[in-house]
Amino acid sequence: MNNLIKTSLSAMAYAILAAFCVCPGDEALAQAPANPAHSKQDDSLDHVRILADEMRVPALMAAAKGGIADAQYKLGWIYQTGDGVPKDMQQAAHWYRKAAEQGNAQAQINLGMFYENGLGVGKDGQQAAMWYRKAAEQGNALGQDKIGWAFANGIGVAVDVKQAASWYRKAAEQGNTSGQTHLGSAYADGAGVARDMSQAVAWFHKAAEQGLPAAQYNLGAAYFQGLGVVKDMQQAANWFRKAAEQGHVLAQYNMGSIYADGTGVARDVQQSASWLLRAAQHGVAEAQFQLGRAFLDNTDGAKSEQATYF
């Protein structure tokens, strides 16, 4: 079983590292408007807050109809999320467009994502790319990452990996975690830049330190393979764990594998089965196979986890 685990983990770690891109579907749309935090000392004002919340949508509607871009963006957001109104993607798109046409960068990004995914509007890659570019050209880091993604994947524009890497760098240098991870992946693949694993790891590390699970997974894979860094199984396990605890299913699979093999951690079949179960429940075929194999082998300590799955 140990050889199987080492082989499957090694192959998976390298494959994901080399080809990784953050899926835009995993990202939230542009940040919601911030709400002030509730203080326990303000409990006496709760009735005022309730009244204010009830008045929020009519007040926003009046301001939006009056042409205030920030209100139009916020109104689009609450229609998108159903916060105080029934969800209505067409209304969300309508108000995002109003704000976007006035130059609101967050609205431009959200409208672009609506066009990319066909939410409340017909799916249209060219419109998506146009709105991403408008936000990017204002210096918005998420917009820069989004237009980079469009160039990398031919969404409304011709594929141009050099343009993609250029926009990813602009986003990355502003601290955008998706841009940092995409730029790291470009360096790992040699896509639009010369292949440089030390640069790849440096950008993965920046995003991983900010808590992005995909970057944490990639950093774990780099340490596991010794790509761009000195091979270090303890560091690999550390970063895989951080990603796994945030629900990254391939990191969960890797944690199950390394606990089974005692790679960078003390061997623990119960921990192995627990992590493999999480990955298996999300459809990771390798995890399902290893659970089935362990069940047939009747590995001590793992049977209860396998029984839960099977």
Q: What does the pLDDT read at residue 56? A: 82
Burial level of 68, CB count in 10 A (0-12/13-18/19+)? middle
The residue type at 12 = M
Q: How many CB atoms lie within 10 A of CB 52?
A: 11
Residue 8 belongs to a domain: yes
pTM of the predicted structure, to 2 decimals:
0.82
Question: Does 193 reside within a domain?
Answer: no
41 located within any domain: no
At residue 36, the pLDDT reads 36
Taking the CB of residue 208, how many other CB atoms lie within 10 A of it?
Answer: 26
Tokens at 6, concatenated? 């080492």
What's the number of domains the chain is made of?
1
Assigned token pair, 95: 């108000």
Range of the domain at 242: 1-20+232-310
Which residue from 284, 280, 237, 283 is spatially nearest to 295, judged by alpha carbons?
A: 280
d(CA 203, CA 18): 14
Predicted pLDDT at 19: 35
Q: How far is it, in rounded angstroms, from Cα 243 to Cα 219?
A: 10
143 falls within a domain: no
Is residue 144 in some structural domain? no
With contact defined as beta carbons under 8 Å apart, do 94 and 65 qualify?
no
Residue 42 lies in a domain: no
Which of 225, 241, 179, 226 lies closest to 206 in space, CA to CA? 179
Asked if the structure places residue 306 within a domain, the reply is yes
| pLDDT by position in tens, the chain (length 310) | 333 333 333 344 433 333 343 444 345 556 566 443 434 444 444 444 434 455 688 999 999 999 999 999 999 999 999 988 999 999 999 999 999 999 999 999 999 999 999 999 999 999 999 999 999 999 999 999 999 999 999 999 999 999 999 999 999 999 999 999 999 999 999 999 999 999 999 999 999 999 999 999 999 999 999 999 999 999 999 999 999 999 999 999 999 999 999 999 999 989 999 999 999 999 999 888 888 887 777 655 555 555 455 5
Q: Give me the CATH number covering residue 297.
A: 1.25.40.10
283 within a domain of the structure (yes/no): yes
pLDDT at 286: 87
CA distances from 255 to 15, 193, 207, 221, 251 (A): 17, 32, 20, 12, 6
